Structure 1
Amino acid sequence: MSDRITVVGNIATVPERRQTGTGIPVAHFRLATSQRHRDAQGAWVDGTTNFYSVSAYRQLAEHALASLQRGQRVIVTGALKIRTWEVGEKKGTEAEIDADALGPDLQWGTSRFTALKRETAAPTTDASWSAPGLPAGGPNGPEDGGADPDAVDDEVEPDWARSPLAEPAPF
């Protein structure tokens, strides 16, 4: 099991497009974080800088690559993995975050969010389909003299419109 972590920092490298062996898109970048504090004289002093390798996958990767740039201040949340490595005589430890969510830190600027529409499957209009034991079109469907299920009744009010939450607030 991996630990969950949320980190705020600056993107230290240009976000890079990669892909897994199975073709899944990956966005990868390094994130630099440091804590600032006041010294005894009241001046701001930067603390130790920590670096994290951040990877985002699939749709999050695509959105990150289209939105993020080196130098931006961001918030990253995801699974923390600590890995040790060895190359020749050099050894080290690397902190990696598999991101679940990424976004700009609005403490330092503004952002305009653009929601993208998800592709949805087209509704099935095959009239030959029926549940087992039922006539094509279902019970009381067009084939057996019932109402057309595709017909729209403009007089019917949706259930949500009758909800007390749909009423305007009395302000």
Structure 2
Amino acid sequence: MQNLVILAGNVGAAPEVRTTQGGTKITQFSLATSRPKRDSEGKILRNDSGRRVEDTEWHRITCFNGVGKTVAQCVDKGQKVMVRGRIHYTRWTDTENTERYGVEIIADEVTFLSRGRQQQSDTQEHGGLDDDDVPF
């Protein structure tokens, strides 16, 4: 059996980096995924202006080591990325002695589906490159 998740969506905020006492760098960011809302007959719902209505879910993505370093350097709010990793559940007791639960995605790979911080600055510095010229 395998714990595998693949998500594609938009980054919600610039990644945050922290370092553990042992020196491991951890990079975290939020990822929004959306799907169309449907009525009881399975038809896609539309708003008054004719645009489809979507359900958005937020996911906490955690990256370590090289993946985390690349994400911290290149990913920015609004960028489209695909994350391949695994689901990780956590349980802890807070300061008020209440048991809490959480879930996060531990990323093994993050693929850039749109330009991030580094690619945008490279493009500006080099006078503009075609999409085929910029590696993701």
Deviation (angstroms), 1:85 = 5.3
The 3 A distance-change label for structure 1 pair 89 and 103 is same
| TM-score, L = length of structure 1 | 0.53
Where structure 2 has 5 or more consecutive residues not aligned to the other structure, the ranges are 38-43, 115-130
Is 1:71 aligned to 2:93, yes or no? no
Q: What percent identity do the matched residue pairs reach?
A: 24
Higher strand share: 2
Is 1:57 aligned to 2:64, yes or no? yes
Could you tell me how far apart the structure 2 residues matched to 1:71 and 1:16 are?
15
Native 8 Å contact 2:46 2:53 kept in 1: no
Amino acid at match of 1:103: T
Higher helix share: 2
Is 1:45 aligned to 2:53, yes or no? yes
Could you tell me how far apart the structure 2 residues matched to 1:11 and 1:90 are?
31
Deviation (angstroms), 1:93 = 4.3
The 3 A distance-change label for structure 1 pair 9 and 95 is farther
What do you get for the CA RMSD once the two structures are aligned?
A: 2.8
Residues 126-165 of structure 1 aligned to structure 2 (within 5 Å): none
Could you tell me how far apart the structure 2 residues matched to 1:52 and 1:35 are?
14
Count residues in correspondence.
Answer: 110
Native 8 Å contact 2:46 2:52 kept in 1: no
| TM-score, L = length of structure 2 | 0.65
Native 8 Å contact 1:51 1:95 kept in 2: no
Deviations 1:103-123 (A, max 9, x none): 2225xxx58227xxxxxxxxx
Native 8 Å contact 1:2 1:81 kept in 2: no
Higher relative contact order (CA 8 A, sep 6+): 2
Q: Which runs of 4+ in 1 moved over 6 A?
A: none
Could you tell me how far apart the structure 2 residues matched to 1:17 and 1:40 are?
39
Deviation (angstroms), 1:21 = 2.5
